[in-house]
Amino acid sequence: MTHRISRRTRVLGAGIGAGMLMPLVAAATPAAAAAPTVACSSAKAGLATKLQRDITAALANRSGTIAVGLYDRTTKTTCTLRNSTAYDSASVVKVTVLATLLWDAKKHNRYLTQREADLAKAMITKSDNTATSTLWRQLGLTKIKGFLAAAGMTQTKPGADGYWGLTQITVRDEQKLLALTTAKNSVLSDNARAYILKLMGQVISSQRWGTPAGAPSGVAVHVKNGWLSRATHGWRVHSVGTFKGGGHDYTITVLTHGNSTMQYGINTIQAVAKVIHRDLAAS
């Protein structure tokens, strides 16, 4: 027993000693890696620099972990921040659920049933969780994973045990999904794409916050948001949107967690969205 106590004391002593030395070790090592920065590229002269500066400024005093994706087909403009950082999806995954449903129906050469159409509409336009759970169970993980593979969304990990809101998503994959909904491709039929955009265009007014903030009049807006509070990382607040008009055709994804309140996350997303819409409209 004595031996065990003395050995434990030595271990504790080693721990304390190491702790005391830590400031010296830290001082001798290089500074921690800098936080990720916004990276932009564009075929339009000056636009990438402007967006990079303005998105960075919009986020300058915001707390939380924020990821941003932008792609404009017209000017071949891309901006990214934390492109591959994983977030709990919350309700943003509902667009993936709808896309999977339509992809699977196409594979079986069938239309959605009236029940499926009713569930899909409630899921997207009102963010109805019960409808989502029903469709998630109907599809099952095999079909959901099959769609993710077909879409090239390799960073998206479906939530286990029916917890679709804990699906892990990234900006990169959400931008891939939005790209599939807004241009012809072999994964989603033209009818499926039009259907997804129609429902995202009919989201109830109380849920049309986020990426649409600051969108110019005359630009068609399609949005889906997500919000979820958990013990770790506070509020997750996300917004994905597609925008077409004014000479532009673009998609925006903003994912956040570590927000003190839902409204704080919304304000962060909208600060980013406003400068993106403004800079593209002026280009």
Q: How far apart are CA 50 and CA 41, in angstroms?
A: 10
* β-pair partners for 254: 68, 239
How are beta strands 87-88 and 77-81 bridged, if at all? unpaired
Tell me what pLDDT residue 33 has.
67
CATH code of 39-281, in short, is 3.40.710.10
Question: pLDDT tens for residues 101-141?
Answer: 999 999 999 999 999 999 999 999 999 999 999 999 999 99
Confidence of residue 18 (pLDDT cuts 50, 70, 90): very low
Q: How far apart are CA 42 and CA 51, in angstroms?
A: 10
* pTM score: 0.88
**What is the mean pLDDT of the segment spanning 49-70?**
98
DSSP string, 19-81: HHHHHHHHHHSPPPPPPP--EEE-SSTTHHHHHHHHHHHHHTT--SEEEEEEEETTTTEEEEE
**What is the mean pLDDT of the segment spanning 41-45?**
98
How are beta strands 168-169 and 220-229 bridged, if at all? unpaired
Are the beta carbons of 97 and 164 closer than 8 angstroms? Answer: yes
Question: pLDDT tens for residues 245-281?
Answer: 999 999 999 999 999 999 999 999 999 999 999 999 9
pLDDT at 12 over 90: no
Q: Which of 25-29, 180-184, 224-228 has the lowest mean pLDDT?
A: 25-29
